[in-house]
């Protein structure tokens, strides 16, 4: 069973084995500063890739830019060489998962085409701490149903993050995600989950994208989570391709994925994987709300 551990969304059966009894590591203020630094760095990479996505671009080109940005900033691409027991090492800096691919897609030299959607998942390690983020990006003009899937996936991520206050429970996160996704009839991927994060990409707890309020572990200040809903237009079932990594929807339907690394503070959730500009905008909109 341990052979199934993966990188983007963590394989849920494996996480249960790995983390079932494991302590959740609360971060010190010093650790949190390092989590902020790596979070901002990986967010800059994500936004650079978002700006590149258009018809004609290949995922190998995206991967090359991501790897260069990570290394130039003095960080290590966390995914490269990631090798759970019994698995082949993951070869790329990013997971590039197009259309019916959910997570863990390999980069290749196929040109993206108008109407595709592409999930880009990436992580790097800086000063011993990991930042992990993902987003799903439209390639040119996409169908209304694909656009809605992406929008709702981002909304479920935001709703999940809103639950991350001290004394709430991990089950509250999954509940918030599930409740919103089910309004649209989307399949919620259950085979892969979010996770704690820090010095390791995958720490306890496992964070499912479905659940009941008031269940699972109690959330405390200092915890850092990677929350990552994966939603399908069709059913929730998954299948892994012969490359041993790429996970696709069993029914061939489109899938979207969104992920942030967050820290739980006494004042609620702090999203770590925002760029400098995004943090500035967030601050401005918060002070506007306060002034109104």
Nearer to Mg ion by Cβ, of 15 and 137: the residue is 15
Least distance CB 90 / Mg ion (angstroms): 13
Radius of gyration of the chain (CA): 18
- The least distance separating Mg ion from the CB of residue 246, rounded to whole angstroms, comes to 16
The window from 38-46, 128-136, 180-188, 238-246 that contacts Mg ion (CB under 5 A) reads 128-136
Nearer to Mg ion (CB atom), residue 230 or residue 248: 230
Q: For Mg ion, which is the closer residue by CB, 132 or 203?
A: 132
Stretch that binds Mg ion, among 13-21, 45-53, 127-135, 238-246 (CB under 5 A): 127-135
List strand residue ranges (DSSP E) for 29-182, in order: 76-77, 94-98, 101-103, 117-126, 129-138
d(CA 21, CA 30): 26
Minimum distance, C-beta of residue 242 to Mg ion, in the bound complex (Å): 23
130, 198 Cβ separation under 8 angstroms = yes
Min separation Cβ 133 and Mg ion, Å: 8
- Provide the minimum distance between the beta carbon of 194 and Mg ion in the complex, in angstroms, as a whole number: 6
Q: Which stretch binds Mg ion (CB under 5 A): 62-70, 221-229, 242-250, 275-283?
A: 221-229
CB nearer to Mg ion: give 126 or 226: 226
For residue 24, state whether it binds Mg ion (rule: CB under 5 A).
no
Q: How far is CA 159 from CA 22, 153, 163, 181, 284, in A?
A: 26, 10, 7, 10, 21
Nearer to Mg ion, 45 or 226 (CB): 226
What is the nearest approach in angstroms of Mg ion to the Cβ of residue 199? Answer: 15
Work out whether 203 is an interface residue with Mg ion (CB under 5 A): no
Question: Least Å distance between CB 79 and Mg ion?
Answer: 10
Kind plus residue range of the DSSP H or E element containing 154: helix 144-162
DSSP letters, 215-273, are -SSBP-TT-EEEE--EEESS-S-EEE-TTSS-EEETT---EEE-BEEEEEETTEEEE-S
CA distances from 217 to 69, 105, 212, 213, 276 (A): 36, 31, 12, 11, 32
Could you say which of 188, 226, 230, 263 contacts Mg ion (CB under 5 A)?
A: 226
Determine the Cα angle at 228 with ends 78 and 150, to 5°. 115
**Considering only 13-21, 42-50, 90-98, 226-234, which stretch makes contact with Mg ion by CB under 5 A?**
226-234
Nearer to Mg ion, 25 or 142 (CB): 25
Could you tell me which of 163, 246, 254, 270 has the C-alpha nearest to residue 208?
163
Task: Out of 40, 100, 132, 172, point to the residue binding Mg ion (CB under 5 A).
Answer: 132
Name the one residue in this structure whose structure tokens are 């390639």: 139
Indicate whether 191 belongs to the interface with Mg ion (CB under 5 A).
no
Contact 195, 173 (CB under 8 A): no
CB-nearer residue toward Mg ion: 32 or 226: 226
Residue whose CB is less far from Mg ion, 11 or 226: 226
Residues 136-165 that bind Mg ion (CB under 5 A): none
| Residues contributing to the site for Mg ion (CB under 5 A) | 132, 226
């Amino acid at each position: 069973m341990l052979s199934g551990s993966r990188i983007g969304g963590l394989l849920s059966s494996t996480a249960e084995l790995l983390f079932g009894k494991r302590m959740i590591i609360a971060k010190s203020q010093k650790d949190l500063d390092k989590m902020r630094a790596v979070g901002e760095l990986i967010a800059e990479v994500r936004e650079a890739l978002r700006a590149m996505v258009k018809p004609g671009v290949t995922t190998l080109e995206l991967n090359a830019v991501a790897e260069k940005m990570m290394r130039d900033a003095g960080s290590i691409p966390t995914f490269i060489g990631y090798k759970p027991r019994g698995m082949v090492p993951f070869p790329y800096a990013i997971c590039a998962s197009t259309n019916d691919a959910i997570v863990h897609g390999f980069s290749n030299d196929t040109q993206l085409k108008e109407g595709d959607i592409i999930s880009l998942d990436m992580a790097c390690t800086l000063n011993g701490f990991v930042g992990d983020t993902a987003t799903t990006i439209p390639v040119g003009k996409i169908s209304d149903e694909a656009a809605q899937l992406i929008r709702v996936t981002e909304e479920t991520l935001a709703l999940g993050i809103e639950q991350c206050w001290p004394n709430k429970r991990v089950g509250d996160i999954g509940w918030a995600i599930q409740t919103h996704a089910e309004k649209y009839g989307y399949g919620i991927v259950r085979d892969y989950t979010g996770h704690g994060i820090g010095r390791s990409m995958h720490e306890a707890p496992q964070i499912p994208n479905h659940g009941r309020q008031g269940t699972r572990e109690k959330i405390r200040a200092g915890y850092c989570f990677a929350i990552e809903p994966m939603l399908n237009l069709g059913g929730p079932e998954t299948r892994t391709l012969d490359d041993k990594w790429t996970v696709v929807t069993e029914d061939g339907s489109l899938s979207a994925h969104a992920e942030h690394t967050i820290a739980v503070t006494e004042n609620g959730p702090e999203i770590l994987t925002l760029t400098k500009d995004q943090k500035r905008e967030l601050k401005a909109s918060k002070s506007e709300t306060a002034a109104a």
